[in-house]
Structure 1
């Protein structure tokens, strides 16, 4: 029997604090930095974002999303035999113990399931899904919990209006299980370390202190140019691998980074904008959480139905990019 992996549950979580562009404008004005709702929306399409409470870490957001995905899948935490968490904002310095292990503990799991973090920044969820798919197809794991969770508000420089207005916090999760029916139809992953400097946190820990900067840095124009190009290419690669065309995609869920990048990708694929799931306006860029957040919202509001073909794709620091073509 040929094994496939299939998404059987989705979940998401947004912190309670919602910050509108107007709220952020007031906050930045107190620092002597001028911006406006029009300036932010015209460049990014973002109107609001959510920030985690001081006591909330990535694992806390992840657990909320995971519980909703498990409930939809009809599974208990101990039915999961692998947890993969994609995050650029892990609970601990040095990224250990892994956020996945902390999620396992907070879910009350006692079955000694494997748990690991994946780091590919905004492409992290796509990388994690591809990893889970490979494990399931190989017969190594049966039920995999895949989570993207971020608290990007912790790494933003609120004196740099070109980046601090773009990002928010949140988590999204899916449960993937072994199936006799195809679910994940194709995955394609890429990276090009030559572009590592255009999106990064250019600092490291040395002697117990941060050497360099602990704030996110982004060369916006360089990221924009590269993103639009690679997103079209990787989507077409996934379609070719699956023997499908863009016309057969029911829904496009790109990484929710910038509405101009998203629209540019849809246009290059020849897809109407009404087939693209958009949450960036209300969530901002939630990095590895953005795709599963958007997926869960579209599943729960009835747009995405069983049997629909969904293209999910992302780009992130590294520079990384990838796509996953799914039959729901």
Structure 2
């Protein structure tokens, strides 16, 4: 099943082994660099069905770090274009994750030498959130007012239009890992008493507005939403709420759901292991009646194939295994005894038989 095609809207992906979005913290003023080209295109050469580019901020204050990629201006759009063209030329599909980091913005990148919030004098900025509640160890954000919320929804729509113009064929709205849209969804970070807080319907209101804005800007593009299936913390967002909101999101035009977990609070209780998030994806698929992919240490062909055989998900995304082996799909096809017709001809001499 891993090497059977998958169709979403009018787009057919050549297989169901996909590349997760992975931040590289290597952009300059939000503009992707040569590193991004090499990093992403190698996965297409390696047989990926979908190459999802990293979180691209929809506004400058939405970056996780000063080195994050963006899609809020035309210079960034134009820099992404040759990357998407190269991915497409190698038979894969280019996607991009549209994101706003909210209270987890303006932080040092993993290899910048600092920790926590970057101060203004070092290039940082004031962060925003649904409520003025800080992530542990980070600066306190400013609460978004209603005009700010309108701007966030509009920024996602404008970013979607630029992404399509840049050649991305799949768009993903990032509502996971403790970033802004997830912050609105979770009662641990959303303490509002207006129409954007309190009930599940209210906490999901901004996400649904964002989906509406993205769908209006890109009516034909397959639209994914990434959720954290659970906060893994007492009193937090959980998989039952994820399934309900996924169903609402589908009614607003979302096509596919990328189910991860955690990231909202530092005191989460998660023990990673191969396949540890698969049941979250399976439950959302089952209860919401939507298409999903699974993630989380799905690092071998056998494990990835089993997820599909069990009916837990419609596709599999991996991250770190693609970093270890950019030709993961080609290797997996040999391990599963599947003959592919999209091995690069330059590499055929290296193809082993099972």
Q: Same fold (TM over 0.5)?
A: no
TM-score band, normalised by the shorter chain? 0.3 to 0.5
Structure with greater proportional strand content: 1
Structure with greater proportional helix content: 1
Per the normalisation by structure 1, the TM-score is 0.32
